[in-house]
């Protein structure tokens, strides 16, 4: 076999390798991004449908009564309203509202009642025995979300939130309300009285974002505490992106870098071979 034929064969193999690996790399970049955008679009559509739907006029009032009963039980006081969640919303397969966290680009994730795996596979959930996320004095709502799911990002990135960041709830036809992060806490759920950290603080309006930690280990619980702030103050707060080095973004950075290095290798190899051919001709 002559040198030129051997060189052409090697060149064809290199081109085949380049285009094959380039397509694989492009898919590894595009598929996670496309899926993430599709999930965001679905959740935004769900939120828009929820906002335009006729919310039962008494739902917000029932939610406030439900929260009053939660506080009374925690304080060992007589329950006044005996309000169950079904008095607030009969169909619990529908979301109660939505959570929005600008700093980690969580645009509009649905909030359901409960925190079972079935509920948290759909979005976030209200921990039983805590307030519904409609705000008000003597409330503390705990909104839980999974971390480390293979198919979507829910609360993976709340671990990057800093003091001063804001998050928002809109629930049960009420106006959007805002909370400013002021504390983070890691709790071992097997310890006695572990749930004391999510009891209502008398006279306060508080909310907690909760997820498992460390990610993929899930032995403890990470709690991000927020205190209620006026909606105007929240919206005037500068948003700092906190998710630049999340697992998904690190994956995208790594694949992009490998693709760039591979393109550089291909170009250098191609120029070298052309130079050798030119010298031999």
CA pair distance 32, 46, nearest whole angstrom: 21
Class of residue 218 by CB neighbours under 10 A (exposed 0-12, middle 13-18, buried 19+)? middle
Three-state SS sequence of 33-76: HHHHHHHHHHHHHHHHHHHHCCCCCCHHHHHHHHHHHHHHHHHC
165-215 tens-digit pLDDT: 999 999 988 889 999 999 999 999 999 889 999 999 999 999 999 999 998
Cis amide prior to 214 (ω within 30 degrees): yes
Inter-residue long-range contacts of 30-37, CB under 8 Å, 24+ positions, other chains counted: 32/248, 32/251, 32/252, 33/252, 35/151, 35/152, 36/152, 36/153, 36/248
pTM confidence score: 0.77
Query: In the chain, what percentage of residues exceed pLDDT 90?
Result: 47
Of 167, 172, 173, 161, the residue nearest 143 (C-alpha): 167
Q: Give the model's pLDDT for residue 54.
A: 46
The pLDDT confidence band at residue 220, using thresholds 50, 70 and 90, is very high
251 has a pLDDT exceeding 50: yes
Cα-based distances in Å from 101 to 17, 56, 124 = 43, 26, 13
CA pair distance 189, 164, nearest whole angstrom: 27
| Cβ-proximal residues to 33 (8 Å cutoff; 6+ apart), any chain | 252
Return the SS3 of 269: helix
Cα dihedral 222, 227, 233, 234 sign: positive
108-164 tens-digit pLDDT: 889 999 999 889 988 899 999 999 999 999 999 999 998 877 567 789 899 999 999
First to last CA, the chain: 17
């Amino acid at each position: 076999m002559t040198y030129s034929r051997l060189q052409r064969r090697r060149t064809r193999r290199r081109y085949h390798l380049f285009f094959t690996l380039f397509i694989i790399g492009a898919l590894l970049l595009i598929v996670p991004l496309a899926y993430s955008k599709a999930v965001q679009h679905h959740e935004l559509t769900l939120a828009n449908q929820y906002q335009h739907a006729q919310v039962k006029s008494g739902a917000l009032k029932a939610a406030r009564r439900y929260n009053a009963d939660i506080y009374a039980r925690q304080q060992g006081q007589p329950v006044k309203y005996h309000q169950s969640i079904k008095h607030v919303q009969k169909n619990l397969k529908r979301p109660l509202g939505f959570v929005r966290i600008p700093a980690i680009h969580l645009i509009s994730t649905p909030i359901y009642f409960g925190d079972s795996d079935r509920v948290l596979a759909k979005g976030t959930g209200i921990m039983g025995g805590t307030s519904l996320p409609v705000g008000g004095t003597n409330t503390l709502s705990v909104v839980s979300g999974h971390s480390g799911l293979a198919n979507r990002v829910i609360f993976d990135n709340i671990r990057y939130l800093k003091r001063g960041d804001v998050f928002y709830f809109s629930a049960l036809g009420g106006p959007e309300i805002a909370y400013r992060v002021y504390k983070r806490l890691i709790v071992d759920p097997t310890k006695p009285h572990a749930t004391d950290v999510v009891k209502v603080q008398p006279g306060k309006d508080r909310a907690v974002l909760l997820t498992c930690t460390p990610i993929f280990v899930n032995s403890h619980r990470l709690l991000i505490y927020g205190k209620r702030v006026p909606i105007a103050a929240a919206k005037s707060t500068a948003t700092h992106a906190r998710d630049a080095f999340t697992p998904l973004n690190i994956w995208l950075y790594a694949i992009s870098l490998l693709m760039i290095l591979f393109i550089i290798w291909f170009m250098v190899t191609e120029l070298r071979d052309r130079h050798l051919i030119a010298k031999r001709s």
